[in-house]
Structure 1
Amino acid sequence: MTTSLTESAIVSRLRAAGCVFAEDEARLILAAARTPDDASAMVERRAAGLPLEHVLGWAEFCGLRIAVEPGVFVPRRRTEFLVRRAAALAPPRPVVVDLCCGSGALGAALVSGLVSGLVSGLVSGQVSGAGGAELHAADIEPAAVRCARRNIAPFGGRAYEGDLFAPLPDALRGRVGVLLANVPYVPTGDVATLPAEARDHEPRVALDGGPDGLDVLRRVTAEAAGWLAPGGRLLFETSERQVADAVAAVERGGLAAAVATSDEFSATVIAGAKPV
């Protein structure tokens, strides 16, 4: 675009505001802005602390451009490891549920098939895209559900508003092959230490997991087995210090727990399998 606001001026403004990757952000803003006034407004929103993804209106996740809007949790790169684990464990043509879905990024990435090429050893036919998977998503936040509907519609997905499993169709009980649950797992006392971008601009319900960070997870694991198909898996992300308690919650729910870690993504994922 042609604009009187130069890239160097934007870089200087963003750097002064504390943006570590000011050069990259300046290029993205200039590419997204439709007019000079639009660019100026975007720069000021970013300098004021709004997450870059909310400024741009999208986040990159697993090779997809995921629509996000203010008040919606921004998908993290580390969570791509969860999607990779799900792709590696998914049965052919799975019924997929993305619980606590936020923008719907996890479900969209899994059923898009794009992630399959990143996972070695996939069985032919696994996660073959919209034609091979049935996708459902749910979140308690209305703004998140609006975003999720936009992001999963190209893959035939449906999104529901409500608390955890409550809004899901009863017809899904006992049929879910992959249950993605990106539950909040930050202990309440640690929320104040999060970066301002998350603390001030993302919904608290998407961050705060209760006193030890596992309150929502325990609610999910208590019900998951009733929704999973035989051999189906519940997958979620947690921190290293929470692994033992998270595994215990999975096992109390009648699932067999397996822990996977990634140095590349600095992530820990637990999968709970329902007996066949």
Structure 2
Amino acid sequence: MERRPQRGPSGRALNDSIVSTLRAAGCVFAEDEASLLIEAAGPSPEGLAALIARRVAGEPLEHLVGWVDFCGLRVAVDPGVFVPRQRTAFLARQAAQRAAAGAVVVDLCCGSGAVAAAVAHLVPGARVHAVDLDPAAVRCARRNLDGPVYEGDLVEPLPPDLRGRVDVLVANAPYVPSAEVGLMPPEARLHEPLAALDGGADGLDVLRRVIAAAPAWLAPGGSVLVETGDRQAPALAADVVAAGLRADVVTGADADATVVVGTLTPAEPAAGR
């Protein structure tokens, strides 16, 4: 992230003081965070002090400044909405690689709409739809997307005429096992919706539902892509095969990301035709 330069000794002293405060609170990228908080506060010293206090208390930086840099886009993130992780950019790029101009792309569990926004940016002309169960996430996603955003449970609110026509179905659904949610950083477990984190006993409850629903909505040759943990990928790939899809597991070593892909293979023509 680009730092906002501070002019004059007082600016440098202020910046150094904020950096020290943030570093003492455990912020690894304190210099970058200080610059972003100063920018977000504008000319108000009181506003800046309030933002710093809230950050030190554990609120996500993205909720405080109101946006996150995702795939080179400034994506709005409202308080209480799941913050897109940088590793999820790998999921977005994998989805974009399987789309083309005119392709129908559906982003389930869209949150802020970051993945859908990234695909729309990377694939001009793609027809992007997004869905989330959380009204706050839906409101946020509608600020980030030009295409339709539906409120509801997974595929339930999608227009029926999309059945069998979706080229790319992508989902960054929750995959943290219930017993491990309490081990997450406080800024996640205290300030993001539990439904966006807790994936059930083995973390795969929602992802299994996505995979099970996918075949009815995919176009021939279309793919469903979901982010998951590397230890969970074999079990989820087995679910993909059980759903009648070809399974692939793709990893992004640099991003520490794992994506399971299920592809609806076009039916072979009958012999003699």
TM-score, normalised to structure 2, is: 0.91
Q: Aligned partners of 1:92 and 1:254: how far apart in 2?
A: 27
Three-state SS of the structure 1 residue aligned to 2:105 is: strand
Cα RMSD (Å): 1.5
Mean alpha-carbon deviation: is it higher for 195-204 or for 33-42? 33-42
Q: Is 2:128 the counterpart of 1:135?
A: yes
In structure 2, the partner of 1:257 is 247
Q: Is 2:225 the counterpart of 1:235?
A: yes
Say if 2:99 and 2:126, in contact at 8 Å, map to a contact too.
Answer: no
**Residues 74-93 of structure 1 correspond to what in structure 2 (within 5 A)?**
74-93=83-102
Three-state SS of the structure 2 residue aligned to 1:240 is: coil
Over 4 Å off, 4+ runs? 1-5
Residue segments in structure 2 that go unaligned for 5+ positions in a row: 1-5, 267-273
**Residues 56-135 of structure 1 correspond to what in structure 2 (within 5 A)?**
56-113=65-122, 127=123, 129=124, 132-135=125-128
TM-score, normalised to structure 1, is: 0.90
Q: Give 1 or 2 for the bigger CA radius of gyration.
A: 2
Which of residues 1, 18, 42 in structure 2 aligns to 1:10? 18
Q: Is 2:140 the counterpart of 1:147?
A: yes
Percent identity over the alignment is 58
Q: Aligned partners of 1:137 and 1:60: how far apart in 2?
A: 19
In structure 1, the partner of 2:40 is 32
Q: Aligned partners of 2:206 and 2:34: how far apart in 1?
A: 38
Using CA pairs below 8 Å that are at least 6 residues apart, which structure has the higher relative contact order? 1
In structure 2, the partner of 1:247 is 237
**Residues 132-211 of structure 1 correspond to what in structure 2 (within 5 A)?**
132-153=125-146, 157-211=147-201
Three-state SS of the structure 1 residue aligned to 2:102 is: coil
Residue segments in structure 1 that go unaligned for 5+ positions in a row: 114-126
Q: Aligned partners of 2:26 and 2:100: how far apart in 1?
A: 45
Q: Aligned partners of 2:235 and 2:259: how far apart in 1?
A: 13
Q: Aligned partners of 1:242 and 1:151: how far apart in 2?
A: 31
Say if 1:187 and 1:211, in contact at 8 Å, map to a contact too.
Answer: yes
| Deviation sequence 1:212-269 (CA, Å, 0-9, x none) | 0111111111111111111111001111111111001111212111111111101111
Q: Aligned partners of 2:246 and 2:19: how far apart in 1?
A: 50
AA in 2 matched with 1:228: L
Three-state SS of the structure 1 residue aligned to 2:78 is: coil
AA in 2 matched with 1:247: A
Q: Aligned partners of 2:97 and 2:209: how far apart in 1?
A: 25
